[in-house]
């Protein structure tokens, strides 16, 4: 990337920040991608960690809500961070916040250690 493009990119980002936009530049490449982020994000503290152990030897589905749409998968032996819940998901589902945020089938998590 030539110096003119770098200068233009820096001026654009600085101008957007001064105007009150929260922006994140994901990479400095020939293609510039600016993504808005919420002004305030609450940090989520895990209440514990578990290991994925799906007996079918297939990746464990991560869903957007209990019985919801699959938004990702986790391989066996992946460590997940357990998030705080209100119990409305039922006893068969567990909310995870890392490495992806969503819900997994609770019976496929082992070696759980809780922080409370």
Supply the DSSP symbol for 107: G
Domain boundaries, the chain: 3-36, 48-114
Query: What is the CATH topology of the domain spanning 48-114?
Result: SH3 type barrels. (2.30.30)
- 87-96 pLDDT, tens digit each: 888 889 999 9
To the question of pTM greater than 0.85 for the whole model, the response is no
The neighbouring-strand residues paired with 35 are 24
- 59-116 pLDDT, tens digit each: 999 999 999 999 999 999 999 999 988 888 888 999 999 999 999 999 999 999 887 6
Could you write out the DSSP letters of every residue in 4-71?
A: HHHHHHHHHHHHHHHTT--EEE---SSS--EEE--S-------SEEEEE--TTSSPEEEESSTT--EE
Q: Cα separation of 116 and 110, whole Å?
A: 17
């Amino acid at each position: 990337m030539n110096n003119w493009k770098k200068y233009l990119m820096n001026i654009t980002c600085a101008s957007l920040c001064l105007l009150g936009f929260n922006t994140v530049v994901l990479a400095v490449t020939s293609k510039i991608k600016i993504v808005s982020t919420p002004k305030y994000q609450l940090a989520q503290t895990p209440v514990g960690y578990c290991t994925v152990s799906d007996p079918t030897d297939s990746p464990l589905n991560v869903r957007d809500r209990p019985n919801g749409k699959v938004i990702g998968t986790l391989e066996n032996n992946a460590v997940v961070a357990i998030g705080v819940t209100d119990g409305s998901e039922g006893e068969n589902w567990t909310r995870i916040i890392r490495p992806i945020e969503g819900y997994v089938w609770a019976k496929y998590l082992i070696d759980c250690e809780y922080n409370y």
